[in-house]
Amino acid sequence: MPRARGKLDLDPATVRHARSLARKAGRPIVTMAKKHTTVAVERATLRLAGLEGADTEGTPWVNRLMDVVRADTGLEHGVALPVWDALLRGEADDLATLAQKASAGSVTFRLPEGKDAERARRASRRQVGQGIRRIDARRAERERLVRRIGDAPRQPWIYLIVATGDIYEDIPQAQAAAREGADVIAVIRSTGQSLLDFVPEGATREGFAGTYATQENFRLMRAALDETSRELGRYVRLTNYASGLCMPEIATLAGLERLDMMLNDSMYGILFRDINPVRTFVDQRFSRQVHARAGIIINTGEDNYLTTADAVEAAHTVTTSQLLNEYFAKEAGLEDWQLGLGHAFEIDPDVPDSFRLELAHALLARELFPDAPLKWMPPTRHMTGDVFRGYLLDGFFNLVGALTGQGILLVGMMTEAVVTPWLSDRDLALQNVRYVMNAAGNLHEDFHPAPDGFIAERARQVLAETIELLDAIVHDSDEQGDPPLLAAIADGTFGLMKRPPGGGKGLDGVARKSSAYYNPATEILEAP
C-alpha cells in the first residue's frame, strides 16, 4: 500500500478514510442546517442591508424589527419578503424608520405573493447585496494593506489576548502588545455575551473579564491597529468571537469592519455554553459563509475539550472535531488557509513522557492539515500558581510549537487560569516566546521522529481511535431520526458534556423553512 511522505508516514488511505467518515457524519448536519433558519440569521440579513442602531433602552433595531415580523408572519418565511414588501408598500422610506414604526406598533407585516413577492425579492437582494459588496471591499482593503505595509515576517503568528472590559483601555494595551511582538490581537469577549440574544450597541467601557463585542468596538480597535501597523511596518491582525446566540450577526459585523480572525467553532457553544445544537449548527453555517466571503480566518475550539476531559484519553476527540470542523468549514466555502483548527498543550506534566505525547498530538494535527494555520493553545489546566513552573511549562509549549511548525501560537502566561495576569506577566510571556522562536524557530525542518518510535506510534494510535469514533458516530442509529452526530453530542462524546438536540438555550429562535422562505444573503453567498 502506498505511504504518504511526511514525518509520521501516515497511510494516505487511512487519512482519506478518516475524512470520508467526517463527511458522512457532517453531511446530515448540513442538510438539517439548510432546512432551518434562526432569528440570528435573519437579523444578520438586516444588518447586511444596513440596519444599525438601537432604541433608548439599548435594544438593537434589528431585534425590534425581527420580533414584530415574526409575530405577524412567522420566522419560517424569513424576514426579507415581509420587510421589503412593507417598504415597497410605502410603510416607511428606509429600514431604520420601518423598525421604529414597527416597534411603535404602527406597521403590520404580511407575506407577499405573486408579483408583490417577486418585487420584494428583487429589492431585498439589491439592498443586502450592497452590504456584501462592502464586505468584499473590506477584504480587498486588507489585501492592499498587507501588500503596502508588510506582513508578519514568519509563522507562527504570535497571538495575544487583550481584554480590560473598557475598549478605550484595550486600545493602548493592544498597541503596546503589537510593539512588543504580537502579530494577532484578540479582544476576548465579556463573560456571558454569548448568551445574549442581541449585540450591544456602541463603544463599551464596562465588561466582565472581557470587552463586549460591538460594531463600534470593532471599528475603534481596527483603526488603532491600522495606525500601529503603519508604525511597525507589518500588518497586525485583529480577532474576536463569532459564537453564541448572535454568531451570524457578529460574523457579519466582523466582515463589515475588517476583522481578520474570528473564534468560530461548530460545537463550542453547544458544549460549553449549553446553546441548542440545532440553533448552533444553523448559525455556524451562515457565519462561516460570511467568513469565507470576508477572507477571515476562523479559530476553532478543540482546546476546550481538554479542560474538561483527560488530554491523553480524549486526544482522539480533538482530532475528530478538527476533521468535522474542516468538513463544515469547507462546505461553507472556507479555504485551507482560513482554517485555524485548534489544539492545546494540556497533558498533565506529571504523566510520564508528557512532552513526547504533546509532540505526537501536535505533529499529527500538523500532518493531517498541512495547509491550515493551526492554532496552538498554551497550558492552563495544570497551572498551579507556581510561576517558575508555569514559565517553564510555557517554554516547553513554545518549543513544541517550533518543533511542529504551528501557524498561530497563543501566548501562554505563567499565571494563566490562576489569577488575572499583570502586564508584566505578559511582557515575560512575550520574552519567552521570542527567545524560543529566535533560538529554535525553524527547528521543525530538522525534527524527524523515529519512524516506529514512541511519537509516530502514538500519533497513529490517536488517528486509529479517531476513525473508530467517527465510524461509531456514522453508524449510530437514532430512534427520533436525528443526525447521528447530534446523538453523539447528547451522549457526552466531546468534552464529557451531554447536550440533547431538544435542549439548550435558543431553540425557540429556530424555525424550519417554509416553501415560501427567501433570504437574499444566503442566495448571494451560495452563488457559484
Q: What pLDDT score was predicted for residue 385?
A: 84
Average pLDDT over every residue of 426-454: 93
Residue 138 forms part of a structural domain: no
Run of H or E residues at 327: helix 315-331
Shared domain for 327 and 458, answered yes or no, is yes
Q: How many domains does the chain have?
A: 4
Shared domain for 246 and 316, answered yes or no, is yes
- Say whether 446 is catalytic: no
The two beta strands, 339-340 and 261-263, are: unpaired
Shared domain for 302 and 358, answered yes or no, is yes
Residue pair 210/165 in contact (Cβ under 8 Å)? The answer is: yes
- Say whether 7 is catalytic: no
When the pLDDT of each residue in the chain is averaged and rounded to a whole number, the result is 94
Catalytic option among 7, 170, 212, 375: 375
Shared domain for 365 and 259, answered yes or no, is yes
Catalytic option among 159, 235, 241, 268: 268
Residue 514 forms part of a structural domain: no
Q: What pLDDT score was predicted for residue 6?
A: 86
Shared domain for 278 and 356, answered yes or no, is yes
Looking only at Cα atoms, what is the longest distance across the chain? 74
| Pairwise CA distance, residues 404 & 393, whole Å | 17
Q: Is the pLDDT of residue 330 over 60?
A: yes
Residue pair 494/271 in contact (Cβ under 8 Å)? The answer is: yes
Write out pLDDT tens, residues 10-23: 999 999 999 999 99
Which of residues 67, 98, 129 is at a domain's end? 129
Which position has the higher pLDDT, 278 or 417?
278
Residue 520 forms part of a structural domain: no
Shared domain for 204 and 347, answered yes or no, is no
| Pairwise CA distance, residues 387 & 425, whole Å | 10
| Pairwise CA distance, residues 3 & 355, whole Å | 27
Shared domain for 396 and 495, answered yes or no, is no
Shared domain for 118 and 157, answered yes or no, is no
Shared domain for 493 and 429, answered yes or no, is no
Could you tell me the pTM of the whole model? 0.95
Shared domain for 92 and 118, answered yes or no, is yes
| Radius of gyration over every alpha carbon of the chain, rounded to an integer in angstroms | 23
Fill in the DSSP letter of residue 180. T
Q: What pLDDT score was predicted for residue 12?
A: 95
Residue 141 forms part of a structural domain: no
Q: Return the amino acid letter for 247.
A: M
Residue 142 forms part of a structural domain: no
Mean pLDDT lowest for which of 49-63, 349-363, 380-394?
380-394
User: Which of 358, 393, 411 lies closest to 161, judged by CA?
Assistant: 411
Residue 183 has a CB neighbour count (10 Å cut-off) of 23
Residue 446 forms part of a structural domain: no
Residue 406 forms part of a structural domain: yes
Which of residues 96, 129, 162 is at a domain's end? 129
Q: CATH no. for residue 252?
A: 3.20.20.440
- Say whether 375 is catalytic: yes
Scan for cell 497571538, then name that residue: 159
Q: Is the pLDDT of residue 476 over 80?
A: no
Shared domain for 29 and 46, answered yes or no, is no
Domain of 90?
A: 36-129
Catalytic option among 303, 394, 425, 482: 303
Residue 158 forms part of a structural domain: yes
Q: Is the pLDDT of residue 418 over 80?
A: no
Shared domain for 62 and 91, answered yes or no, is yes
Write out pLDDT tens, residues 341-363: 999 999 999 999 999 999 999 99
| Pairwise CA distance, residues 493 & 454, whole Å | 27
